[in-house]
Each structure stands twice: as C-alpha cells, then as structure tokens.
Amino acid sequence: MVATTNIIIGLLTVLLVGTLWMSYLMYVRLRQLQDEVQELRSQVEMTDDELDRLESSINSIKQDSIAKEAERKKK
C-alpha cells in the first residue's frame, strides 16, 4: 500500500514539475513574440507627415490618370 501511494505521489510530482516547466517555456516564448510584434509595429508605424505625403501622391496620380483619360476621349 505504501509503495503504491509513493509511486502515485512521485508520478503526480513529475507531472506537476513537467507542467510548470512547459508553462515557463510558453511564457518565455510569449515574451519573445511580444518583443517581435513590438519591433515590427515600430517599423510599420507611419507618421502624420508620411501619411499626408502618401495621400497627396495618390491624389496627384489619380488626377493625372483622370486628365489622361479626358485627353483620350477628346481624340
């Protein structure tokens, strides 16, 4: 009886330690992924000036396209 109880306690202890180890590894990986996301976010962020320049560039391309289409229709 005592040996069976000790074996069960030992197995549960091993399972508990294994579970804690896996939780720690998942925590470490989560921190790594959060750091990577933060790094990527800083590379992707656009300032207001960049956004304004992009908007004006798109508008000028759009106006050029409309003007060229109008010239084609005149011919």
pLDDT band for 14, please (50, 70, 90 cuts).
Answer: very high
| Distance (Å, whole) CA 53 – CA 60 | 11
Express each pLDDT in 16-26 by its tens digit. 999 999 999 99
Q: Which domain holds residue 25?
A: 1-44
Q: How far apart are CA 64 and CA 75, in angstroms?
A: 17
Q: Are residues 39 and 28 in the same domain?
A: yes
Q: 31 by DSSP, 3-state: which?
A: helix
**Residues 37, 51 share a domain:** no
> How do residues 22-71 score in pLDDT, each as one tens digit?
999 999 999 999 999 999 888 777 778 888 899 999 999 999 888 888 88
Instruction: For residues 69 and 50, state if they share a domain.
Output: yes
Is the same domain home to 13 and 39? yes
Domains in the chain: how many in total?
A: 2
Gyration radius of the chain over CA positions: 31
CA 4 distance to own-chain centroid: 49
pTM for the full predicted model: 0.55
Q: Give yes or no: residues 57 and 71 share one domain.
A: yes
Cα 43–49–53 angle (5° rounding)?
A: 100
